[in-house]
Amino acid sequence: MREAHPIERTVGMEYYVSDADGVGGHLRASPEDFRVTELEAFETAPVDADTGGYPHVVMRVELRDWDTNDFASALSDRLGISRERVSWAGTKDKRAVTRQLFSVKGIDPDDLPDLDGTDIEVVGRAGRPILFGDLAGNAFEIAVRDTDAPENAAAVVADLRGFAGDAAGADSDLPDEPVTVAVPNYFGQQRFGSRRPVTHEVGLAIAREAWKEAVLAYVGNPHEREPEDTQAARAYVDDTEDWQGALERLPRALGYERSMCHTLVENGAEGPADFREAVETLPSNLQTLFVNAAQSYVFNLICSERLERGLPFDRPVEGDVVCFRDSEAPGDLPLPDTDRTQRVTEKRLRTVERHCERGRAFVTAPLVGTETELADGEPGEIEREVLDEVGIEPGDFDLPGEFDSSGTRRAVQVRTELGVQRDGDALTFEFSLPKGSYATVLLREFRKNDPDA
């Protein structure tokens, strides 16, 4: 089993499942090299529907080189409304061309502004905002350019077919048609911060209700990938905890960090309540993201340990918890329904194996929260060991406000029909993934280099 890149290991992605050498190369040479289209699962009423019953205007927005949060802020600023009135189903990569749904509460569609790098199409109205998860998945078309060894792609495809349960042998050429491949359903690097992966550190501190540690993890805690002036400002915070001095040193672009420092200067930074208030100055979705990142880190570690022990991902072992396929999901995009779970006993093992073979059930691991029930047998042993390692337990997520989480479970493997085309030293990948799964987790198996390259 091949060790992952060092920065991936810091967020719990310890291994690749493909032993073949990587192709190298670069992602996002231009935004057009990374195209994402939401597979929509949100119904709307006509745009002229009664605004009392349908106060949310729903838009399909194409964004070029826009961070989702930044677009929401820019849109709310131009409309003169609270940012909390803007909602969306999934956060997308900035350096990309994305098509996704947004909703805005209580506006006239004619007031929507023109923003550079955007194309806004009003599609209707809704009685509630779009929420995270209100999509079936995403379709991707991604080019990896300037590869060092594009010929290695065929061997990687063969390895990933094997991980999906297909015993097809290696081939020196890429398949002419899309083939079924699989990878561990890791949370990708961007979940934790692509350049500076720290959101899980903030989330773990929040879970321990160590509010000052949470602030220092976010405002301080310099990373070598950041500009030198940013590193120096963060190091100053760690060394002095001088919040006024930090404001004088932190670059203007670090608006969230500066907002936290403003709050601490105003409140005196005298106790845990002041540090908690500083964290709560951030947008509510970012507060939730911190806790989600902590859960994601634990999940990644559990998957890595499962790989290290040689447990299967495509079928259960005794003690596993499986979930069943969402009966309302599109037929060509199997979605796990994590509300329908079953613990695998020795008596039921073969029956559940058959369900997994037919795509009707999925092996899961926990996104730990207050209602998490851990697995039995060796899978449960892994889950408990990882929780001990990071120093948290399910009850720690009984938290105030946006930080509270009851937890859920998540499939440990994700499959897709993958098409790969080669043009010189460039490779183009086409595939679709269910919501919550990361294209970069599939591509890392091919590239095997710095995820920021």
Residues across the chain? 453
* Pairing status of strand 361-367 against strand 321-325: antiparallel
**Cα 249–253–255 angle (5° rounding)?**
85
Q: Do residues 49 and 122 make contact, with C-beta atoms less than 8 angstroms apart?
A: no
| Closest by CA position to 236, among listed 225, 247, 226 | 247
Residues 6 or more apart whose Cβ sits within 8 Å of residue 20 = 152, 155, 156, 158, 159
Tally Cβ neighbours within 10 Å of residue 384.
13
Reply yes or no on whether 337 is catalytic.
no
Q: Which residues, 6+ apart, have CB-to-CB distance to 7 below 8 Å? A: 189, 197, 450, 451, 452
Name beta bridge partners: 36: 98, 140
Amino acid at 359: G
Whether 189 contacts 93, CB under 8 Å: no
Phi and psi of 55, rounded to 5°? -80, -10
Catalytic residue chosen out of the listed positions 93, 134, 320, 396: 93
The span from the CA of 121 to the CA of 221, in Å, is 41
Give the Cα separation of 433 and 415 in Å (integer).
Answer: 8
The answer to whether the CB of 321 falls within 8 A of the CB of 343 is: yes
Q: Give me the helices (H) in 227-364, please.
A: 228-240, 243-249, 255-267, 272-279, 284-309, 349-357
Q: Using alpha carbons, list the distances in angstroms from residue 307 to 3, 310, 312, 414.
A: 11, 5, 8, 14
As to burial, measured by CB atoms within 10 angstroms (0-12 exposed, 13-18 middle, 19+ buried), residue 120 is middle
What are the C-alpha distances in Å from 375 to residues 88, 323, 350?
A: 33, 12, 18
Residues annotated as part of the active site: 93
